[in-house]
Amino acid sequence: MNIPSAYIHIPFCQQICHYCDFTKFFYNERLADEYLTALEKEIHTYIPGEKAKVNTIFVGGGTPTALNHAQLEKLLETIADHFLIEECEEYTFEANPGDLDLEKVKMLKAYGVDRISLGVQVFDDAMLEKIGRIHKVADVYTNIERLMQVGLTNVSIDLMYGLPGQSVADFEKTVDEAMQFGLPHYSSYSLQIEPKTVFYQRYNKGKLVKPPEEDEAEMYELLQRKLAANGVSQYEISNFSKPGYESKHNLTYWNNENYYGIGAGAHGYLPGKRTVNIRPLPAYVKEAMSSGKPILHEEPVGLKERMEEEMFLGLRKTEGVSTSQFTEKYQRKLSNVFGDAVPKLKSRGLLEETEDRIRLTERGRILGNEVFQEFLID
């Protein structure tokens, strides 16, 4: 089974952010030890023999770097035991500023990690505290300096906008400070208020107010403008990079390609099916240790769903969807599958079409959901 990518989930955090709805638990040394043993069992079930060759590995969370030194090394050894790291094109670890002491940074580098995604969010200590982050702005500077010191220069940082109490001027300050690092990659997301989060509870009680929609739109436009002015091009709705530094792992998702989803709550996309793993930690550990397959749910993915997702995901990219590649992949012309969807969206100014590509216009990016629903097949 040739699967080009692997996502590995580490659900532990030192602090639960108020907006986060990913599978996460407060760090506990004993539970983390048990989890890593169960995780190794799950990986071994997928890859029982020779090491797997994958193009990308992404270790996310939670906060993978919340693990202690011994646990982090065990995780890195487990991955190295099952994947051909030397043939991997991109090996990313998520990290929180403040978690990366010099020993951890050197360890990541020694085991072949070549890309770091830092959850910075904002360059404002008061706002960081308000959204439940425990790092300070100074930690960002310290951690990036350590990464550069050991040669881990392929660094991405995440930024957030549309936060409670955040003005356009506040976000502009964050973007300007982020640009000073001259990093090769930036991601930026507007706050989504998700169920089972602290912010969701506050929102329902009327104790949380987001900025007006027009302010959010202005923040997004400001982000696009300032990054472009600094030679950082937008290649996806929320992602920007210098040439050649696009996230290869995330492009696996947007190109609708297969990937392993390993760990509590992880989603995988294997040939012909999607998998969702058990989320609660004790249940995940128990099932992974007994069967090696802690899967909560499997959903078959037929041709119809694959073609729909090709459009939903592919149109997130700035370059859009190639009509010739669509035909080659599915043995059907895009126009025959989706009827008048493209001309209809072009007439509304939401799509534009070149000789071989269909992509969102600037207006289409803002109204993406309206575009995507046109590519649902009856």
Confidence class of residue 316 from pLDDT cuts 50, 70 and 90? very high
| Lowest mean per-residue pLDDT among 167-176, 199-208, 359-368 | 199-208
Asked which of 239, 254, 269 is the last residue of a domain, the reply is 254
- Does 172 map to a domain? yes
Q: Are residues 326 and 230 in the same domain?
A: no
Q: Are residues 97 and 154 in the same domain?
A: yes
CATH number at residue 312: 1.10.10.920
d(CA 228, CA 230): 5
Q: Are residues 159 and 22 in the same domain?
A: yes
Q: Are residues 245 and 337 in the same domain?
A: no
State both tokens at 276: 């969702």
d(CA 353, CA 342): 8
- Does 264 map to a domain? no
- Whether the pLDDT of residue 349 is over 80: the answer is yes
The end-to-end CA distance of the chain, in Å, is: 32
Asked which of 254, 269, 293 is the last residue of a domain, the reply is 254
Question: Which of left, alpha, beta for 339 (phi over 0: left; psi -120 to 50: alpha)?
Answer: left
- Whether the pLDDT of residue 290 is over 80: the answer is yes
Q: How far is CA 317 from CA 42, 144, 256, 323, 357, in A?
A: 32, 28, 12, 14, 11
- Does 260 map to a domain? no
- Does 279 map to a domain? no
- Kindly report whether the global pTM for this prediction surpasses the value 0.85: yes
Q: Are residues 240 and 360 in the same domain?
A: no
Q: Are residues 244 and 333 in the same domain?
A: no
Domains identified in the chain, total number: 2
Averaged over 361-371, what is the pLDDT?
Answer: 89
Q: Are residues 323 and 247 in the same domain?
A: no
Q: What's the pLDDT tens digit per position in 95-111?
A: 999 889 999 999 999 99
Confidence class of residue 17 from pLDDT cuts 50, 70 and 90? low
Comparing CA positions, the residue from 68, 119, 64 lying closest to residue 91 is 64
> Could you tell me the residue range of the domain that residue 332 belongs to?
303-375
CATH number at residue 73: 3.20.20.70
Q: Are residues 20 and 164 in the same domain?
A: yes
Residues near 33 by Cβ (< 8 Å), separated by ≥ 6?
71
Burial of 340 (0-12, 13-18, 19+ CB in 10 A): exposed
- Whether the pLDDT of residue 274 is over 90: the answer is yes
Q: Are residues 159 and 52 in the same domain?
A: yes
Contact assessment for residue 311 and residue 357, using Cβ atoms and an 8 Å cutoff: no
Contact assessment for residue 79 and residue 88, using Cβ atoms and an 8 Å cutoff: no
**Side-chain half-sphere exposure of 55, counting CA atoms within 13 A:** 14
- Does 20 map to a domain? yes
Q: What's the pLDDT tens digit per position in 189-204?
A: 988 777 776 666 776 7
- Does 58 map to a domain? yes
Q: What is the pLDDT of residue 26?
A: 77
Better pLDDT: 288 or 211: 288
State both tokens at 84: 């051909």
Q: What is the pLDDT of residue 112?
A: 98
Q: Are residues 239 and 104 in the same domain?
A: yes
Q: What's the pLDDT tens digit per position in 209-252?
A: 788 999 999 999 999 999 999 999 999 999 999 999 999 999 99
- Does 222 map to a domain? yes
Residues near 84 by Cβ (< 8 Å), separated by ≥ 6?
51, 52, 53, 54
Asked which of 193, 220, 254 is the last residue of a domain, the reply is 254
Q: Are residues 125 and 225 in the same domain?
A: yes
Give the alpha-carbon dihedral of 293, 3, 39, 49, to 10 degrees. 90
Q: What is the pLDDT of residue 132?
A: 84
- Whether the pLDDT of residue 19 is over 60: the answer is no
Q: Are residues 17 and 125 in the same domain?
A: yes
Matching residue, tokens 């960081």: 128
